[in-house]
Amino acid sequence: MANYDLIVIGGGPGGYVAALRGAQLGLSVACVEKEKRLGGTCLRVGCIPSKALLESSERYVEATQHLKEHGVVVGGVTLDLPAMLKRKDRIVRGLTQGVAGLLMKNGVTRYEGLGTLVGTGAEGTRVAVGDEELVGKHVILATGSSVSPLRGVDLDADWIGTSTEALSYAEVPSHLVVIGAGVIGLELGSVWARLGSKVTVLEYMNRILPGMDHELSAQAQRVFTKQGLTFELGARVTGARREGEGCVVEVEGREPLRCDRVLVAVGRKPNTEGLGLEAVGVATTQRGQIEVDDHFCTNVPGIYAIGDVIRGPMLAHKAEEEGVACVEQIVTGYGHVNYDAIPGIVYTHPEIAEVGKTEEQLKEAGIPYRVGKFPFLANGRARALGETEGFVKLLAHAETDRLLGAHVLGARAGDLIAELAVSIEFGASSEDVARASHAHPTLAEVVKEAALAVDGRALHV
């Protein structure tokens, strides 16, 4: 039986980062991961492969549609899908090997297999991995999430599948139906639309990206519609099945849709099956998430949980922050995550990014606010890039001017949001952002102008 100060179950961004931080702080650490490759959903079948395909497919669109605007004439552009998929796989392989290297370099012992909680005692918590038993003074559960099934929809891991299959279709579907206009639906829907598929997105709510600032998601819908995506809103999918050579998707009160592939992207559920929560009495919420307090402690002393398996947004960087804060809490007694300063990004083209509160949330909470907005169209760099779609929208407290929320639809929004996340973290006012010098000509000047606009002082309007 091997003893550790810290055992982390799950080798995703939450788990492996917690393991690294534990090792940095001098703990003896084990990381248990059931898959061969480390890196979790994010590296294997999530963030990284989807961004690789988003980048490649965008290059294809650029070559086939946009280069001529720049006076660059290319002929005979063709799609080599196998090469595109191979590139994605190569990137994934390299990064997952990188994580294995990091763990080794930091002296973290890696166990391959399903980790199951089997008991608690004076020494700590016992974790079984195959035939082996480990004991941890502290155990962090970082088992992540997997695709939520949809009643009536028979996933066949091929024609009717999830994001995992949609990252590897062997050929471009002629008609792809995406169920769910959330982040996955829009990112992967965009990939296949760019490569030539007709894409129909069915969304239960009456808007796309329901959690985001309404003004932003409404504009995003117009942009994606122009790009060729078709949205059917208020569409409750009741079933999907294989029929003949294709698939049929049933929508309540509407004509069934015929297509050749279906992507189910209606959210994800926490991974707790086989983890042995019952054996040690770890409590879960009604939604099946592991219940934790503000310090990531479960109801069982010495057992903690972080990442997708607990409450909060399902984001890799959120899981990482929690991993670090949880370990620091264990070792030093303090460690904190500011959930108001965690950015969320949709890596479409243009990108959509936000941090802090939406306008709807401020209204609902009765917080007085002022809005500053500025369009990319009025920015010199955006014109030079040919990327004039979208705007930056800042929300500041009406009395204190403190920045409460930032929402960006536009080129490189995912990079622009970093400045605004730091501003919120530091408790900056819109005046602070407006007075900071922003290099010219950069897209960041749109942020500065939006900050000036909070006080009606934008210069280039």
CB of 170 to ligand NAD, least distance (A): 22
Which of 38, 29, 33, 37 is CA-nearest to residue 109?
29
Q: Which residues contact 29 (CB under 8 A, 6 or more apart)?
A: 4, 5, 6, 7, 8, 19, 22, 23, 106, 107, 108, 109
317 binds ligand FAD (CB under 6 A): yes
* Residue appearing with tokens 């279906």: 262
Residue 32 burial (CB count, 10 A)? 28
**Where does this chain touch ligand FAD (CB under 6 A) — which range of 45-53, 324-332, 363-371, 446-454?**
45-53
180 binds, among ligand FAD, ligand NAD, none (CB under 5 to 8 A by kind): ligand NAD
CB of 308 to ligand NAD, least distance (A): 8
Which of 425, 439, 420 is CA-nearest to residue 372?
420
213 binds ligand NAD (CB under 6 A): no
- Catalytic annotation, pick one of 66, 336, 440, 460: 440
The pairing of beta strand 132-141 with beta strand 124-129:
antiparallel
Name which position in 204, 279, 385, 441 contacts ligand NAD (CB under 6 A).
204
Name which position in 180, 270, 307, 343 contacts ligand NAD (CB under 6 A).
180
11 binds, among ligand FAD, ligand NAD, none (CB under 5 to 8 A by kind): ligand FAD
Paired with 196 in beta bridges are: none
Residue 277 burial (CB count, 10 A)? 20
Report residue 299 as tokens: 């109801």
Q: For residues 317 and 393, which CB has a smaller minimum distance to ligand NAD in the complex?
A: 317
User: Which helix (H) or strand (E) element contains residue 48?
Assistant: helix 47-61
27 binds, among ligand NAD, ligand FAD, none (CB under 5 to 8 A by kind): none
Q: For residues 110 and 370, which CB has a smaller minimum distance to ligand FAD in the complex?
A: 110
Q: Tell me whether residue 438 is one of the annotated catalytic residues.
A: no
Which of 148, 211, 158 is CA-nearest to residue 183?
211
Q: Which residues contact 28 (CB under 8 A, 6 or more apart)?
A: 3, 4, 5, 6, 107
Name which position in 303, 306, 314, 371 contacts ligand NAD (CB under 6 A).
314
The Cα–Cα gap between 279 and 141 comes to 14
User: What does the per-residue mask of binding to ligand NAD show for 393-432, with x meaning CB under 6 A?
Assistant: ----------------------------------------
Binders in 139-178 for ligand FAD, by CB under 6 A? 142-145, 163
Q: For residues 13 and 173, which CB has a smaller minimum distance to ligand NAD in the complex?
A: 13
315 binds ligand FAD (CB under 6 A): yes
Buried b (16+ CB within 10 A) or exposed e, 325-338: bbbbbbbeeebebe
User: What does the per-residue mask of binding to ligand NAD show for 340-369, with x meaning CB under 6 A?
Assistant: ----xxxx----------------------
SS3 readout for 55-87:
HHHHHHHHHHHHHHHHCCCCCCCCCCHHHHHHH
274 binds, among ligand NAD, ligand FAD, none (CB under 5 to 8 A by kind): ligand FAD
Torsion from C-alpha of 208, 212, 216, 218, nearest 10 degrees = 20
CB of 271 to ligand FAD, least distance (A): 5
Name which position in 35, 55, 133, 415 contacts ligand FAD (CB under 6 A).
35
Name which position in 85, 103, 183, 259 contacts ligand NAD (CB under 6 A).
183
Residues that are catalytic? 440
Which residue ranges make up the site for ligand NAD (CB under 6 A)?
150, 179-185, 187, 202-205, 210, 235-237, 265-268, 313-315, 344-347
